[in-house]
Amino acid sequence: MNQKKAILVVSFGTSHLDTLEHTIGAIERDMKAAFPEYRLYRAFTSRKIVQKLKCTKKIEIDTVAEALERMLADGIETVLVQPTYIMNGNENDSMLEVLMEYASRFQRMRVGKPLLSSPDDYKKAVHAVMEAADLKEDEALVMMGHGTNHHANAAYPTLEYTFHLLGYRQVLVGTLGGFPSLGDVMGKLAVSDYRKVRLMPFLLVAGGHAKNDMVGGEGSWKCELEAAGYEVNVVLKGLGEIEGIRRIFQEHIEEIR
């Protein structure tokens, strides 16, 4: 192994250790296997999650700046940075700002793209999701994304369009904090013939948003859909658990090697 080459995997993070192991952990394990000549480092961009893990679980995770400082101390010269973000939104912008401050301190630094960065990425993600969803003929698939006030929120309607373009017209994509909303999704469901809904997160991890906002108590998407008369079947699986999704991140590393 060339100890001077490394991959830094940057994730928003999660304090839910079950989904952490099955999603971010799985992505990192796959990368380690695919690129054995690179050392692997981990960073989370959510300071709140980093602090929570430290205080409640005694687990220390680096921020991006801390990880880069650690790599410099370890004598790393070539850095490939691969974010596990869904889109080129606020988190990716913030990560790039930090990387710019450190770029000149390494001999070479390259940055991979988030999950949905090209038309091919969308198509590959759609096929990967459909393979994992195991949808029945009489079911609609409703996917819950996070949503953002960043213009990158356009990724969600683009994603739904791509599902339909590839023949999966029974798939609807909504967001917690952007467009389309759950109301928009339910409006489309109301004019369809579907009475059964498979509910799945379009989130890297199946953490707090999936467990609370999607399938939790009153006000959750599951409760709202059931109150509207739909039979709801939940797939509590983060995108990081899907092999085809993990493969897209690997391809993005290949592009920058």
Judged against a pLDDT cut of 90, whether residue 3 lies above it is answered with: no
The verdict on pTM exceeding 0.75 is yes
d(CA 222, CA 121): 28
Strands 5-11 and 39-44: what pairing?
A: parallel
Which pLDDT value is given to residue 177? Answer: 87
Sheet holding 108-111, edge to edge: 39-44, 5-11, 78-83, 108-111
| Beta bridge partners of residue 140, listed in sequence order | 197
- Distance, in Å, from the CA atom of 5 to the CA atom of 78, rounded to the nearest integer, reads 5
CATH 3.40.50.1400 given to domain 119-239? yes
Cα angle 179-183-187, degrees, rounded to a multiple of 5 = 110
Name the H helices within the chain.
17-22, 24-34, 47-56, 64-73, 90-102, 119-133, 155-165, 182-190, 208, 221-227, 243-256
> What pLDDT, in 10s, does the model give residues 16-64?
999 999 999 999 999 999 999 999 999 999 999 999 999 999 999 999 9
- Which amino acid belongs to residue 151? H
**Intervals of CATH 3.40.50.1400 along the chain:** 5-115+241-256, 119-239
pLDDT at 2: 52
Euclidean distance between CA atoms 210 and 144, whole angstroms: 8
CB atoms within 10 A of CB 188: 15
Residue 217's pLDDT is: 87
For 180-214, how does the pLDDT look when each residue is reduced to its tens digit (9 = 90+)? 999 999 999 999 999 999 999 999 999 999 999 99
Would you name the residues annotated as active-site residues?
Answer: 146
| CA atoms of 26 and 205, how far apart (whole Å) | 11
User: Cβ of 119: how many Cβ atoms within 10 Å?
Assistant: 11
What DSSP state is assigned to residue 212?
I
pLDDT recorded at residue 68: 98
What would the CATH number be for the domain defined by 5-115+241-256?
3.40.50.1400
Give dist(CA 181, CA 151) in Å, integer. 16
